[in-house]
């Protein structure tokens, strides 16, 4: 799956982990993980996936774009609701297969109307309201 780690390609691994070049490592579906946090509070708002086009459009427009696995299509968060995510900062992880977007959300991020998609805590096998 992680074909870039095959063949003992230590130079590529080093470039990816220590270099200053953006070398996104998409998985076998062409996707990487994207975590959205509120730039003001640090709260995790949502988790989604990006393909190369979603990443490029996010960088170009400073508005978060993702790849929908269920719809198999590119989407801009807020394109229908208006609740766009203005990107303040983007971070990439060590092996460049995950991105953190620190954003200023225009409204609730979750389609349920919640501020964050993570509105429930796992508590002894049950889910309880995590709102504070």
User: Can you give the binding site for a second copy, defined by CB under 8 A?
Assistant: 1-2, 5, 17-22, 27, 33, 35, 37, 41-44, 46-47, 59, 69-70, 72, 89-95, 98-100, 110-112, 114, 117-122, 125-128, 130
The least CB distance from residue 124 to a second copy, in Å, is 9
Instruction: Tell me the Ramachandran region of residue 119: left when phi exceeds 0, alpha when psi lies from -120 to 50, beta otherwise.
Output: alpha
Nearer to a second copy, 19 or 30 (CB): 19
Nearer to a second copy, 12 or 43 (CB): 43
d(CA 53, CA 66): 9
The strand ranges marked E within 62-109 are 65-68, 73-76, 85-92, 98-105
């Amino acid at each position: 799956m992680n074909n870039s780690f095959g063949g003992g390609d230590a130079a590529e691994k080093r470039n990816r982990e220590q270099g200053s070049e953006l070398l996104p490592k998409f998985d076998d579906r062409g996707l990487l993980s994207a975590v959205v946090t509120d730039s003001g509070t640090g709260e995790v708002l949502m988790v989604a996936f990006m393909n190369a086009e979603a990443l490029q459009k996010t960088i170009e427009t400073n508005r978060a774009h993702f790849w929908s696995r269920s719809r198999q299509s590119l989407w801009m968060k807020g394109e229908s609701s208006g609740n766009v995510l203005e990107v303040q900062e983007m971070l990439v992880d060590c092996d460049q297969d995950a991105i953190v977007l620190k954003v200023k959300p225009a409204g609730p991020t979750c389609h349920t109307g919640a501020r964050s998609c993570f509105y429930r805590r796992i508590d002894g096998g049950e889910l309880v309201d995590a709102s504070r």
